[in-house]
Amino acid sequence: MSGLSRPRPAARRRAAALLTLAVLLAGGTAAGCGGRPTTHHKPGTTHHQASGSTGTLLEAKDAAGHRYREVPAAGAPEVTLTVRPDSEDGWNLELAVRNFRFTPGSTGGAALPGAGHAHLELDGRKLARLYGPWYHLPAAQVPHGAARTLTVRLYADDHTAWAVAGKPVQATAQLTPGAPSGHTHGHGQDPGPGRSTAPAPAGGTADADADRTVTIAVRDGKVSPPPGRTELKRGERVALRVTSDRTDTLHVHGYDKELPLPPGQEVTLLLTADRTGLFEVETHESGLVLTQLLVR
């Protein structure tokens, strides 16, 4: 052994540090966050918060499959819903919350106490996700006929529904279609960026207010004429006249505008193209692309 030189102290320390690091990494892989990687943490969220340990997850779910997250009644989120007719079109909805704050910047993260967003439903059908206390509901999104029920429900950032005593934290309000109307748009008033009008017959007010009219029919799962592109200049208004042979929903991506499609009835959505880009128009339930709006 006399011919072999001993490792220097610095080299021995580096080797020991590397060995310790390897052991720690191996242990983290084996145990970690219950055997799962911890890359699901959002910035500013601790390991404990990201584990989703707030409240108790129940087996009960909402209609879309989101599980309920039950918390004690003391200090639990609360919500009330007030509906007021809008002087121009539809209704203005106000959500008054307690022990709750809207956190749009952390949607998809961990379930933190008293934080999240809301869902708006009409007769059990989801209309929108809400990130604040106010929402304008156009009359065109509410089918005519009997009274309708609006429901707002509070959700955590991880999309579980806040619940107390096995029931979701929500509020309801009755809506009578036909009282507020969007007919004032037909008197030269600008409905505003991206706002849709009530359904109008061919050649009606919506068409008269539009710079372009696109007529589309959906039958037996096929779109006629075949989907193409509708080119618009920014600020132009387009009337989308759509007829479907089945119950569906007309949806304009990027503008988040929807309109119910009753079977066999033509409806018209009037849209102001105030954003540039390429936006798909589709049927929400059947997922058919009807056209693309190219706004320059």
Residue-wise pLDDT tens digits, 26-70: 444 443 333 333 334 444 444 444 445 789 999 999 988 999 999
Residue 178: both structure tokens together? 């036909």
Instruction: Using alpha carbons, list the distances in angstroms from residue 104 to 4, 17, 132.
Output: 65, 43, 9
- Please report which confidence band the pLDDT of residue 132 belongs to, taking 50, 70 and 90 as the band edges: very high
Instruction: Using alpha carbons, list the distances in angstroms from residue 239 to 130, 164, 209, 225.
Output: 26, 45, 8, 16
Question: 129: Cβ–Cβ under 8 A, 6 or more apart, which residues?
Answer: 117, 118, 119, 120
pLDDT at 115: 96
Q: What is the C-alpha to C-alpha distance for residues 58 and 68, in angstroms, rounded to an integer?
A: 5
Q: Is the pLDDT of residue 274 over 80?
A: yes
pLDDT at 38: 34
Question: Contact, 118 vs 96, CB < 8 A?
Answer: no
In the chain, what is the greatest distance between 2 CA atoms, to the nearest angstrom?
Answer: 104
pLDDT at 188: 29
Instruction: Using alpha carbons, list the distances in angstroms from residue 232 to 16, 124, 214, 235, 267.
Output: 67, 35, 12, 8, 21
Q: What is the C-alpha to C-alpha distance for residues 268 and 202, in angstroms, rounded to an integer?
A: 8
pLDDT at 12: 67
- Please report which confidence band the pLDDT of residue 189 belongs to, taking 50, 70 and 90 as the band edges: very low
Confidence (pTM): 0.48
pLDDT at 243: 92
Max mean pLDDT range (9-23, 30-44, 136-150, 199-213): 136-150
Q: Is the pLDDT of residue 198 over 60?
A: no
Q: Is the pLDDT of residue 211 over 90?
A: no
CA angle 115, 122, 130 (to 5 degrees): 25
pLDDT at 52: 54
pLDDT at 207: 56
pLDDT at 72: 94
- Please report which confidence band the pLDDT of residue 195 belongs to, taking 50, 70 and 90 as the band edges: very low
Question: Contact, 232 vs 276, CB < 8 A?
Answer: no
pLDDT at 94: 93
The DSSP secondary-structure symbol of 147 reads -
Q: What is the C-alpha to C-alpha distance for residues 258 and 247, in angstroms, rounded to an integer?
A: 13
Question: Contact, 67 vs 60, CB < 8 A?
Answer: yes
CB atoms within 10 A of CB 96: 11
Of residues 75, 136, 133, the one with CA closest to residue 102: 133
pLDDT at 4: 52
